[in-house]
Amino acid sequence: MPASPTVAPSTAPPRPVAGHADELVERVVAWFAGAARDLPWRLPERTPWGVLVSEVMLQQTPVARVEPAWRAWMERWPMPADLATAPTADVLRAWDRLGYPRRALRLQECARAVVERHGGAVPDDDEALRALPGVGEYTAAAVLAFAFGRRSVVVDTNVRRVLARAVGGTALPAPSPTAAERALAAAVVPDDDAGAARWAAASMELGALVCTARSPRCPACPVADLCAWRAAGSPPDAHAGRRRTQAWHGTDRQCRGRIMAVLRGTAGSVDREAMDAALARPGAAAGGGTRSAAAPDAAQVTRCLAGLVEDGLVEQDTAGAYHLPRD
């Protein structure tokens, strides 16, 4: 998820040009107090590690799929030291179908770095967080806000959409964040730590539940009367022609997902003949999807296996068979 840079508490930005920004924040935060989903990584007993794990899992993955996986993960590896020493194959099996399994490898690398550099405690410093494997601007800002209650500029796709509509008057933000968009996001964030953390969570929730991309629930929005997009007559997406739709069925990504599903389902190695047979099995799940998928051709399987080996997600033994990494 793209995000604007984190802003330290001591360098508060100027107040926003939009005169209703303070009221916007106040209303969204008040709405959040009664509308927030009861998610485990928001509970008072949450840990910084639990928040970090949730943020990595939630990247391009719906909450409904993440929540049960997060609970199982945290029960098994409640602290960075637990994950750091876990067998990589177990980590990949536990990741299951959350998608982008390289995130699981980065999360384990992150756990090892936390143990080696910070004595097993997730750091509360932006620079130290962003130096961890797999932690970028957005994740560092989110951990500072949601784990430590610190002022940071947390901007995911939901927040971008809320600000684009409520303040910018556009249906959807540009495909890539602009400098002006980043400046606006930083300017809207309240100056104090607690207020900034509440705004981060509340604006994300508003975008996820009400100000959705395809079917916004404007009558249920707490700031509908302040929304510049509604005031402009809800014009269509000005950037529609620049947006790319991601294909899925028949892609290498789907093929990789199906290969990983086969390997997660066995404790041993799978030779190429058995792999091809498994991928051709009628009714086989489409790499995390729900409908069946046609068998990939031999060249695609070869290409995807090579990519998985290169990424460290799969290993090949001396007999040429494939298996999950063995530590």
Quick check: is 238 in a domain?
A: no
Quick check: is 139 in a domain?
A: yes
Quick check: is 16 in a domain?
A: no
Q: pLDDT tens for the chain, 327 residues: list them.
A: 444 333 333 333 434 444 578 999 999 999 999 999 999 999 999 999 999 999 999 998 999 999 999 999 999 999 999 999 999 999 999 999 898 999 999 999 999 999 999 999 999 999 999 999 999 999 999 999 999 999 999 999 999 999 999 999 999 999 988 889 999 999 999 999 999 999 999 999 999 999 999 999 999 999 999 999 999 999 999 888 777 766 778 899 999 999 999 999 999 999 999 999 999 986 555 444 444 568 899 999 999 999 999 999 999 999 999 999 998
Kindly state whether residues 213 and 66 are assigned to the same domain. Answer: yes
Q: Distance between CA 251 and CA 243 in Å, rounded?
A: 19
Amino acid at 190: P
- Known catalytic membership, residue 23: no
Q: Distance between CA 92 and CA 87 in Å, rounded?
A: 9
240-298 pLDDT, tens per residue? 877 776 677 889 999 999 999 999 999 999 999 999 999 998 655 544 444 456 889 99
In the chain, count H helices and then E strands: 15, 2
Kindly state whether residues 105 and 211 are assigned to the same domain. Answer: yes
Give the 3-state secondary structure of residue 323. Answer: strand
Distance of CA 13 to the CA centre of its chain: 26
Q: Distance between CA 189 and CA 185 in Å, rounded?
A: 7
Unique residue bearing structure tokens 């695609």: 300
Render the burial of 187-212: b for 16+ CB within 10 Å, e for the rest. bbbbeebeebbbbbbbbbbbbbbbbe
Name the phi and psi angles at 3, rounded to 5.
-150, 155
Q: Which CATH number fits the domain that encloses residue 105?
A: 1.10.340.30
pLDDT at 292: 54
Q: Is the pTM of this model over 0.95?
A: no
pLDDT at 284: 55
Kindly state whether residues 78 and 154 are assigned to the same domain. Answer: yes
Q: Distance between CA 283 and CA 202 in Å, rounded?
A: 41
**Can you say whether residue 119 is alpha, beta or left, with left for phi > 0 and alpha for psi between -120 and 50 degrees?**
left
pLDDT at 293: 65
- Residue 325 near residue 314 (C-beta atoms within 8 A): yes
Amino acid at 156: D
Q: Distance between CA 280 and CA 295 in Å, rounded?
A: 5
pLDDT at 240: 83
Neighbours of 234 (CB within 10 A): 13
- Residue 39 near residue 208 (C-beta atoms within 8 A): no
* DSSP classification of residue 285: B
Amino acid at 308: L
Residues 45, 55, 67, 315: which is the catalytic one? 55
Kindly state whether residues 170 and 277 are assigned to the same domain. Answer: no
Residue 308: give the domain boundaries: 252-323
Domains in the chain, number = 2
Kindly state whether residues 142 and 288 are assigned to the same domain. Answer: no
pLDDT at 17: 42
Planar angle of CA 127, 133, 136, nearest 5 degrees:
55
Quick check: is 298 in a domain?
A: yes
Q: Distance between CA 39 and CA 291 in Å, rounded?
A: 29
Kindly state whether residues 200 and 88 are assigned to the same domain. Answer: yes
Unique residue bearing structure tokens 């179908």: 97
pLDDT at 248: 75
- Report the DSSP beta bridge partners of residue 316: 322
Distances (CA, A) of 125 to 56, 129, 132, 305: 18, 6, 11, 39
pLDDT at 281: 85
- Report the DSSP beta bridge partners of residue 315: 323
Kindly state whether residues 135 and 38 are assigned to the same domain. Answer: yes
Render the burial of 86-95: b for 16+ CB within 10 Å, e for the rest. bebbbbbbbb
Kindly state whether residues 57 and 175 are assigned to the same domain. Answer: yes
Quick check: is 312 in a domain?
A: yes
User: Which runs of consecutive H residues, i.e. helices, occur in the chain?
Assistant: 21-35, 48-57, 63-76, 80-84, 88-95, 102-118, 126-130, 137-146, 157-163, 179-188, 193-209, 228-231, 252-264, 272-280, 298-310
Kindly state whether residues 155 and 104 are assigned to the same domain. Answer: yes
pLDDT at 4: 38
Quick check: is 190 in a domain?
A: yes
pLDDT at 322: 97
